[in-house]
Structure 1
Amino acid sequence: MHELLYAAEDVDTAKARLMEGFEWTEHQALAVLDLQQRRLPAAERRRIIDVLADVDARIAELTARVTRDHGE
């Protein structure tokens, strides 16, 4: 996500990519953009990125389990 935000040409592009990539609502995407990540200390940014990676891994694990259990 971090790379996605910094690679976006503008706020509208970043918002659209967040909504598409994470299946978020406009409200959720705007909330992330409003965090003003550039003001976060480096350690806090790293912690957030690590937590997000853990959440992404858990989502993948649960998705695989549901798919396997339901034969989809």
Structure 2
Amino acid sequence: RTSKQNEEIENRRQSRIIEETKGTGNVHEAIKKFTDTNFLKISAWILLYKQKVMETHFLRGITSKIQQH
């Protein structure tokens, strides 16, 4: 799947969670109902990876600025 497809799937999932929560008033149950645990693990891993990449770029940026002075 492409990142665009993943984004669309995630948006639909979040919409379902919101609708379910409006109906029941229980956000935790709604999240459980529309969340695959493997999906959660993958999402957490992707977020962690993105964070590491951002930190690396940030550090490189700082390092190159320091070296220029």
User: Highest Rg: 1 or 2?
Assistant: 2
More helix by share: 2
TM-score, normalised to structure 2, is 0.49
TM-score, normalised to structure 1, is 0.47
